[in-house]
Structure 1
């Protein structure tokens, strides 16, 4: 069995997630030799496992993008948070508890959920259309950011 430990993270903040909304450019390339090596192992039915040390809430959709969805993986952050392996599942923001008078404002870059004259929530989406984070604002000041992974788990 081969174990792959990728360096898919920022050099300065190795623990931090590198996910960005679909309209922002990644600050580093996604494809590397690790993806190629795992692809060769998968094609040749060789046993391997991916060990992810950083927070990677988009891991499953990332693997799917490179035809590596069947990869067995262990994630340190999944262990810390007590998450189990599940298929990606989009969050339906309509099913969340919103005030009755919430107004959903659709823009090309995000979804703005206006909850009052002073408060609103911005919902950002990944390249695949999954919610990646919600940012709550009061009086135009960021109060909270909720980070979701591609399985719908709140991190």
Structure 2
């Protein structure tokens, strides 16, 4: 894989390559890819430490399917329904919600992004670690 200068382009190329990995390599690569993205997860949990539910709801998964391969970090909606509004998924800097116990009173609240800043801060390190993990597993399996 050539070294692209744009991290988003590099991630897209890595994801495309992940979909082509033979099944026997996937088992060996999954833990290495999870380890490469784990610093981002820990950073996001730290940034959301003001919540008791959001850090526990953050999870990491590795998929090798052809349609959507890659490493994803998610916040389970059932465990932390307030995670999406606080992250600012809609792009707005505030969100509105009813005051507890008063459906007729609504307030605006500032977002407190935790996942996107963690991903931005750790993207280059995770990408480099992912590429190294892929190379190492491929060498161990006899590929050059």
Provide TM-score, normalisation by structure 2.
0.29
| Greater Cα radius of gyration, structure 1 or 2 | 2
Name the structure, 1 or 2, with higher relative contact order (CA <8 Å, separation 6+). Answer: 2
Provide TM-score, normalisation by structure 1.
0.28
